[in-house]
Structure 1
Amino acid sequence: MARAGQVKSSAGERLSDRIAVGVLTRAFPPWLVDEVVAECGRAEQRSRLLPARVVVYFVLAMCLFFGQPYEEVARLLGEGLQGERRWRQGWRVPTTAAIGRARERLGTEPLKVLFARACRPVAVAGTAGAWYRRWRLVAVDGTTFDVADTSANEAFFGRPGSGRGQGAFPQARVVALAECGTHAVFATTLGPLAASEQTLSRQLFSRLTAGMLLLADRGFYGFELWQAARSTGADLLWRVKKNAILPVLQRLPDGSYLSAVHADTDRKRRANPVAVRVIEYTLGPGGDGDVYRLITTICDPEAAPAADLAALYAQRWEIETTFDEIKTHQRGPKLVLRSKYPWGVEQEIYGFLLVHHAIRQLMHQAALDHETDPDRISFTRSLRIVRRQVPAQAAFSPRPTRQGTDPHPG
């Protein structure tokens, strides 16, 4: 008798080899998953109940249908084939224990590499709301995820505390770069709660390029971090604290002024200055609201007038909305990541980000097709559509395929 998940057709092919994940399988095609699995040394030496490629798709499906039991997610993956009568025999779903062991064999690295290979900024020249003049608008920010309350997770990630005691769950800290106009997350890293957003963000700057304008809130500014981001060739527009020392070196016609920032060791001597332009404004009724101080690498006011940059800074909130899409709508409000060990937490988080990127790619294409701003398309509705497609689509076979090869031609 065939083992669970290994029921075969008359041609000897396993149903588990043809599991599909609808839109997600198109975003992360089998040839790419195969390359990543091989690159990470996870390719099977023998036939397994749950091959590595299938486990990658299972993790994605688990993060698409978060909160559903393992076995229910596995059932959804095979449902489309049986519903369309592409398989004559039933499929006995792998047990929760078998799925857990398969996730552990897979580990975290394939999901991280898949994210690095597949997740890029998606805006094109015609994407509404993604650009300011020649700059692609991107933002950096951080968030936290509640993780399962286990000794392993607490030891690795740590638990938040306050004057009222410790938090209910350990938390993982995540920092990301996202494209403001499309909400596509294209770089991320995570670590324990004790790791600061500034420390983690430095690991992301290799994904910045010339032609980007990076927005950041006042919690990120530090001279060394500013220099690290600036060295990538990207331009920067960061808010700084009100007590930052920014001497007026030259007033500019648009109301901004040129100033300089220094390393801590050079500040008293005003040595080794780095030129910045400062934009100051107040938000609130009657001019009594919060004072905003922005610094930028764009020192020419004709290239980017102060009023434009002040308005653009509001785009930084798009990354906050991105985190809300992932944590509130995709994961579910107040739900806790299920993995009991740090490797599983990391695997889950990368799974969430991969799924979110695939949905945002779909939304971006729909916006282009209808010549509209991606912000006018509902993430929640798009998420529902993608979820409905999984049991209805079985368009790709997770059997080994070559790049660019359609496993089901015609």
Structure 2
Amino acid sequence: MLDEPIHFLANYLELPDWRRLGEHLPVEWVEQAVQSTEATSIRHRRLPAEQVVWLMVALAIYRHKSISEVLDDLGLAVPDSHSPFVSKSAAAQARQRLGSEPLKWLFDHCARHWSEQDSKAYMFKGLQLFAMDGTTLRTHDTPENREHFGEQLYASGAIASYPQVRGVTLTALPKHIVRAAAFGPYGTNEMLYAKRLITEIPDDSLTVFDRGFLSAEILTTLIQNGRNRHFIIPAKSNTKCEVLEGSEDDYIVRMCVSPQARAKCPELPEFWQARAVTVTDQHARKHILLTSLCERKRYKKVDIARCYENRWGIETSYRELKQTMLGTALTLGSQTVDGVYQEIWGTLIAYNLIRLEIAKAALVVKCDPTEVSFIRAFHLIQFELHWAAVTRSYGKLPASMKLLRERLVSLLKDERSDRKFDRVVKAKPN
């Protein structure tokens, strides 16, 4: 069943130069991201700010390679006959000059634009389908990272071996494109990150939440501050509600807003209502789903259950990000706080680019984007971008071989025998 979409994807990506991805990520957007955050390079450099933006996207696609390899293989540095290679220190300094804000600006701008593309082809009864959930990422154990991001504290009193980043994402379920994201210290509650993303949910949409986001402030804000915005969220075991009307497994309930919540947010009403639907999962376990889709004739019980089942697509999205793109690495590659944020935004941009290519291909062959293997598409883009960069023309092959030999020599010169690394024993993560 998947052979046809995969075969088509291979043909669809037969010209995947950086210009190929540039169809979705125009140079003007990159320039605007740099200029809007005042990161423009004034001096003439081998790695101007615009090229560093592309470098961060490329590093996410070629995570198994060093920064020097990516620069050399894809030819991202401005050519210089006197110095054909860019040193690691120069690349690190270029990243520090750029900072993380241009990558965040570019992600926000691209994500909104890409999630809207072809959205009508994947609607549920006129509504775009989204999911919101949280995740965590480990960072290198440096004093700066541990102070800023913090770490998990266990009930036994033990402290996690690595600092952790906490984040919440809003993902378009049919295409798995991340529409919006918020990341920060591990100690910040997911609810605070979720509140930042509520404004990013578009009108005429249905968002499926994890039960941890069951909050009157989040759900009432979603409905009141937009047009035709709806939610589905499972009720907690201790959720208290008053049944107003309806049948045994499909009824309207009223819930009281706690005084503590109203004290924090005086705009909240005293009560809020929702439709409660009882569904049975594949393990014969019953769950109560709360939703703002109160029209029983238009939104049947089976429709609500099916939409909630699609929520697990966001978990697939996290798996594609962490296991496929990040290579199941224990930590992110960057060792500074700003570098961590920079790496996260660059990875999300690269992930959305791959997902957008898959969605475009699936639309042509009229299949679901999730039917196309993400791993296969990811490997195709890795291979083709590398091949297009190295073999731009057969006449340049001798020059490429010469550069290869020069690069090997430069690597030998860069080795330093006086470098020392302290041994650190870390506990295995559970």
TM-based fold match above 0.5:
yes
- Runs (4 or more) in structure 1 with deviation over 3 Å come to 20-26, 87-91, 392-395
Whether 2:69 is the aligned partner of 1:72: answer: yes
Of 42, 46, 50, 1:45 maps to 42
The CA deviation at 1:228 is: 2.1
Residue 335 of structure 2 aligns with an amino acid whose one-letter code is K
- Cα separation, partners in 2 of 1:125 and 1:224, compared to 1, 3 Å: closer
Residue 55 of structure 2 aligns to a residue whose secondary structure is: helix
The match for 1:133 is 125
Q: 8 Å contact 1:223–1:263 — kept in the other structure? A: yes
Residue 62 of structure 1 aligns to a residue whose secondary structure is: helix
> 2: CA distance between counterparts of 1:88 and 1:364?
39
Residue 358 of structure 1 aligns to a residue whose secondary structure is: helix
Q: 8 Å contact 1:22–1:390 — kept in the other structure? A: no
- Cα separation, partners in 2 of 1:373 and 1:265, compared to 1, 3 Å: same
TM-score by length of 2: 0.79
Residue 75 of structure 2 aligns to a residue whose secondary structure is: helix
The CA deviation at 1:172 is: 0.4
> 1: CA distance between counterparts of 2:198 and 2:126?
20
> 1: CA distance between counterparts of 2:140 and 2:65?
16
The match for 1:173 is 166
The match for 1:211 is 204
The CA deviation at 1:248 is: 1.2
TM-score by length of 1: 0.83
The match for 1:143 is 135
Residue 119 of structure 1 aligns to a residue whose secondary structure is: helix
The CA deviation at 1:238 is: 1.0
Greater CA drift, 116-125 or 352-361: 116-125
Q: 8 Å contact 1:21–1:61 — kept in the other structure? A: no
> 2: CA distance between counterparts of 1:274 and 1:144?
31
The match for 2:387 is 392
Whether 2:358 is the aligned partner of 1:374: answer: no
Whether 2:54 is the aligned partner of 1:62: answer: no
The CA deviation at 1:222 is: 1.2
Residue 213 of structure 2 aligns to a residue whose secondary structure is: coil
Structure 1, unpaired ranges of 5+? 1-19, 82-86, 396-410
Residue 309 of structure 1 aligns with an amino acid whose one-letter code is I
Whether 2:275 is the aligned partner of 1:277: answer: yes
Residue 277 of structure 1 aligns to a residue whose secondary structure is: strand
> 1: CA distance between counterparts of 2:57 and 2:290?
39
The CA deviation at 1:148 is: 0.9
Residue 320 of structure 2 aligns to a residue whose secondary structure is: helix
Q: 8 Å contact 1:139–1:316 — kept in the other structure? A: yes
- Cα separation, partners in 2 of 1:137 and 1:91, compared to 1, 3 Å: farther
Compare relative contact order (CA 8 Å, sep 6+) and give the higher one, 1 or 2: 1
Residue 38 of structure 2 aligns to a residue whose secondary structure is: coil
Whether 2:350 is the aligned partner of 1:355: answer: yes
Q: 8 Å contact 1:363–1:374 — kept in the other structure? A: yes
Structure 2, unpaired ranges of 5+? 1-16, 262-268, 391-430
- Cα separation, partners in 2 of 1:146 and 1:21, compared to 1, 3 Å: farther
The match for 2:31 is 34
Q: Which has the higher helix share?
A: 2
Q: What are the residue-to-residue correspondences of 1:231-380 with 2, within 5 Å?
A: 231-233=224-226, 234-252=229-247, 255-265=249-259, 272-285=270-283, 287=284, 289=285, 291-380=286-375
Residue 259 of structure 2 aligns to a residue whose secondary structure is: helix
The match for 1:105 is 97
The match for 1:230 is 223
Deviations 1:112-170 (A, max 9, x none): 1101111131452563xx32211111000110111111010000001123227222211
Residue 59 of structure 2 aligns to a residue whose secondary structure is: helix
The CA deviation at 1:382 is: 0.6
| Aligned positions, number | 363
Whether 2:89 is the aligned partner of 1:94: answer: no
Residue 151 of structure 1 aligns with an amino acid whose one-letter code is P
Q: 8 Å contact 1:216–1:237 — kept in the other structure? A: yes
> 2: CA distance between counterparts of 1:392 and 1:91?
23
Deviations 1:161-187 (A, max 9, x none): 322722221110111100000000010
> 1: CA distance between counterparts of 2:348 and 2:260?
40
- Give me the CA root mean square deviation: 2.5
Aligned-pair identity in percent equals: 28
> 2: CA distance between counterparts of 1:50 and 1:256?
60
> 2: CA distance between counterparts of 1:307 and 1:360?
28
The match for 1:193 is 186
